[in-house]
Structure 1
Amino acid sequence: MTAPPYRIFAIDDEPDNLLLIRQALRQLGHPLCETESDPVRAIERFLAEDFDLVLLDYNMPGLSGLGVLHAIADKSRSEQIPVVMVTAQIDRDTRLQTLGAGAKDFLGKPIDLAELKVRVHNLLETRTLNLALRQHNQHLEEVVHARTEELRSTQLEVIRRLARAAEFRDTDTGLHIQRMSLFAQAIGREMGMSTPEHELLLNASPMHDLGKIGISDRILLKPGKLTPEEYATMQEHTLIGANILQGHDSELLRTAHDIALWHHERWNGDGYPNGLHAQQIPLPARIAAVADVFDALTMVRPYKSAWPTEEAYREVCRLAGNHFDPDVVLAFDACFEEILHIRHANPDPAR
């Protein structure tokens, strides 16, 4: 391993000692030696600059080497910069104090050139290995992060395609899930959700009607009104979707499960499949319900014509406190201009 040109920082209140250390280090092949005789300025420089090793005098007036060591300990430890305490005091208490404060080694006074060479060589070799290990770990973290993002992206794409497969059975474009998930994100953001929360809503909402995969075309695409038996079968799409999505610890799939299962529950308890009431219904499902109904009302379906946008807006507002969570409807109303923009940017093709 080739060593880099190390920067060594010598701190001593005696200029003659600093000159001696600098000359000795140059003889040992370390020309980059910075010196400082003022301990307070030394602290400032150490915190502002990059060094590979510090030679610190123990006995200095005003602020001792131990005081300097305490001031620079956080950076020296976190960046693994070795500090050598230069002292004529070799008693046990002094050594324990300085080692406890973060010193890595000692160098006796007067300085012996051979001893200086060995101490500096060993500590800089360790410094080189630590830097190499840190770079290796950083590289591994970057690789893991990239792989994790790649896996997450792949999972999201598979999920979106699965959701679109279900949607294509009900419409001929699959744009409903794109719009309603963007509507849901806008509503969640308006309600004060954090970025991770409303992005989770964006990615989980497309799976709200995944269970339609298990509903026969005879019922799903029936142009007229469903019989009570057919309607009961249609309601099973919530259970089918939840069954497909359950049993995984992924937060995305857990949220998608809740939305698929409960997006047809009603604030007044008259919904299905479980007749949940008010806040018993998970918030993502309450938000998805508003986004889903508004977009569905404005779409052409086999059994109905598209509602005008303003009429659909009034209907959603009318159902606040009955079908929908009133707070969700308030957020829907507050971000309605954004919802209109989303709708205009993602139109269904002209028929």
Structure 2
Amino acid sequence: MTHQVLIVDDTEINLILFDALVKRIPDSHAVKFSSAVEGLDWAKTRPVDLIILDYMMPEMNGIEFIVQLRKTAGKEDVLILMITANDQKQIRYRALEVGATDFLTKPIDKAEFMARANNLLHLAESRKNLADRASWLAEEVKKATLNILQRERETVIRLSKAAEYRDPETGAHILRMAHYSELIAKGLGLPVEDQVLLLEAAPMHDIGKVGIADNILLKPARLTPDEFEIMKQHAMYGHEILKDSSSKVLQAGAEIAKAHHEKFDGSGYPLGLIGEEIPIFSRIVAVADVFDALTSARPYKTAWSLERAAEYIQAKSGVHFDPRCVNAFFSNWEQVLLIRQRFQDQ
């Protein structure tokens, strides 16, 4: 590692002396300026490990130099060795306040100069190594976090497939409705992190169906009132399966599972929530889920046309569905069609 040292002093003999001393420090290179203004401009735009700075200069004194440099982003911690006269204690106090690191007093003692400059360059190197270490650790944490998120996503997919193997309404359905949900969330202006969270959690909306008996879940005909009451229990089953997880995705899945059959007018289940009492994720999923269910063929029904399903969703705006969610869905109709094309039933 080559240390970059900036020397700023308006006296030519001092520049020559300091440059010669810096060259005696291993792996060090000096850049010299007799103009404080030019030296400051150079320091603002280039990497520098140590600045050797005279206080008394005509264009700008050393304290003004430090103040201006410290205002520059990324230059808050550059090490500065200031040169002052022996009787300038008040100046040294002020320089410390604005960000000087160390001092040398005139006349310069060569051995002291070498020792202080060496120490500061070792400090600069240690800081850089620490910063590199911090960056490495941050990258490792990022990798570990990504691995955790990938395992979490795998858990979600496997949980969703558990329902898929028992319920013919899932499969490509969970992918379409999840992407419809993300599209609605984007249309509502939800934060990007919420859009992603919803995309990942929405596939678990019907996970509670694993608790419904096959003779009801797979019945190829309309359910009786008693059977429908049993079927409705899947909302709470899904919530119970997911609710105690520390994962944000599974927590969101629990909320969606419980409330995605609520209706905007309060006639839904399991709690009969009204309007914005229904969590926003569940209001979004309600539109996405019903639209895809209507437009998909099932053993007990044929698929509705897109036009008929669209008319139904719009007719139920404010009754079954949150009008804002409905508007967001149909405002992105071309994207809806692309999602439908991308995730077709096999």
TM-score, normalised via structure 1 length: 0.94
Equivalence for 1:222: 219
Asked whether the equivalents of residues 76 and 83 of structure 1 are also in contact (C-alpha less than 8 Å), the reply is no
Matching residue of 1:126: 123
How far off its partner does 1:303 sit? 2.5
Check if 1:257 corresponds to 2:257.
no
Residues 127, 90 of structure 1: alpha-carbon distance in 2 compared, 3 angstrom cutoff: farther
Instruction: Report the residue type matching 2:213 in the other structure.
Output: S
What is aligned with 1:314?
Answer: 311
1:142 aligns with 2:118: no
Report % sequence identity.
38
Cα deviation, residue 324, structure 1: 0.5
2:279 maps to 1:278 = no
Alignment-derived partner of residue 11 in structure 1: 8
1:41-61, CA deviations, whole angstroms, 9 ceiling, x for partnerless residues? 221111101111000001112
The CA distance in 2 between the partners of 1:30 and 1:268, in whole Å, is 75
Q: Deviations over 1:103-137 (max 9, x none)?
A: 11111112221111111111111111111111111
How far the C-alpha of 1:64 sits from its partner, in A, is: 0.8
Instruction: Compute the displacement of 1:16 (Å).
Output: 2.3
Q: Between Structure 1 and Structure 2, how many residues are aligned?
A: 346
- Cα distance in 2 for partners of 1:75, 1:89 equals 30
1:167: Cα distance to partner? 2.4
Counterpart of 2:202 in structure 1 is 205
What secondary structure does 2:3 align onto? coil
Q: 1:137-165 CA deviation, whole Å, 9 max, x = no partner?
A: 11111001100011111101111121122
Name 1:57's counterpart in structure 2. Answer: 54
Runs of 4+ in 1 over 6 A off after TM superposition: none
CA contact (8 A) 2:182 2:195 kept: yes
Q: Of 53, 70, 86, which residue of structure 2 is paired with 1:73?
A: 70
Question: Is the Cα contact below 8 Å between 2:8 and 2:39 reproduced in 1?
Answer: yes
C-alpha contact 1:259 1:285 (8 A) present in aligned 2: yes
Q: Distance in 1 between matches of 2:291 and 2:170?
A: 17
Kept after mapping to 2: 8 A contact 1:239/1:273:
yes
**Distance change (3 Å), C-alpha of 1:32 and 1:61:** same
| TM-score computed with the length of structure 2 as normaliser | 0.95
Q: Which moved more, 1:309-318 or 1:288-297?
A: 309-318
Whether contact under 8 Å (1:266, 1:278) holds in the other structure is yes
- SS where residue 32 of structure 1 aligns? strand
1:183 aligns with 2:180: yes
Q: CA 1:292–1:193 in structure 2 vs 1: closer, same or farther (change >3 Å)?
A: same
Relative to 1, partners in 2 of residues 1:77 and 1:201: Cα closer, same or farther, differing over 3 Å? Answer: closer
Tell me if structure 1 keeps the 8 A contact 2:163–2:170.
Answer: no
Change (3 A) 1:162 1:16: same
Asked if the contact 1:267/1:323 (under 8 Å) is kept, the reply is: yes
Structure 1 alignment gaps of length 5 or more = none
RMSD (Å), alpha carbons = 1.7
Unaligned runs of 5+ residues in structure 2 are: none
Separation in 1 of the partners of 2:284 and 2:73?
A: 50
